[in-house]
């Protein structure tokens, strides 16, 4: 079983819809990362959070350390949000552990 599980694996939405991507992990951590990877592009960090909620534009990330669960929400989704969203945790030392990613496609 992977230490980091994301759901869903694939998600298709219509422009304007509210989107939620979930991440569950099985190890103790104090911080979790959400990353975005555009087709053919590099990976950029969206959020790093250790408790509560963070917001950046239309993106909101929440984490519940006790339940070992995080969610990434996108409000008023747009086709340019189409990308792979990756959850990652760092249980110990310097090794980030990554989920498999969620492929999001937003249709106009």
Partner 1 sequence: NAGVTQTPKFRVLKTGQSMTLLCAQDMNHEYMYWYRQDPGMGLRLIHYSVGEGTTAKGEVPDGYNVSRLKKQNFLLGLESAAPSQTSVYFCASSYAGGEGTEAFFGQGTRLTVV
Q: Is 52 a residue that touches partner 1 (CB under 8 A)? A: no
Task: Select from 16, 41, 52, 79 the one that contacts partner 1 (CB under 8 A).
Answer: 41
Confirm or reject binding of residue 62 to partner 1 (CB under 8 A). no
CA atoms in the 13 A half-sphere facing the CB of 1: 6
The reply to whether 39 sits near partner 1 by the rule CB under 8 A is no
Instruction: Count CA atoms within 13 Å of residue 77 on its CB side.
Output: 22
From the list 18-26, 37-45, 59-67, 71-79, the region that binds partner 1 by CB under 8 A is 37-45
Closer of 41 and 79 to partner 1 (Cβ): 41
In 3D space, the residue among 101, 23, 36 whose CA is nearest the CA of residue 65 turns out to be 23
In the chain, the largest separation of any two C-alpha atoms, in whole Å, equals 43
- Residue among 47 and 77 whose Cβ is closer to partner 1: 47
Residues that bind partner 1 (CB under 8 A): 2, 4, 29-31, 33, 35, 41-45, 48, 50, 86, 88, 90, 93-101
């Amino acid at each position: 079983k992977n230490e980091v599980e994301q759901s869903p694996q694939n998600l298709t939405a219509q422009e304007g819809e509210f989107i939620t991507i979930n991440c569950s992990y099985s190890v103790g951590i104090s911080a979790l990362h959400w990353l975005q990877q555009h087709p053919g592009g590099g990976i950029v960090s969206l959020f790093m959070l250790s408790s509560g909620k963070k917001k950046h534009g239309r993106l909101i990330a929440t984490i519940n350390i006790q339940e070992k669960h995080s969610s990434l929400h996108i409000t008023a989704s747009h086709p340019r949000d189409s990308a792979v969203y990756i959850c990652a945790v760092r249980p110990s030392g310097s090794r980030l552990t990554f989920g498999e990613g969620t492929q999001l496609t937003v249709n106009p």
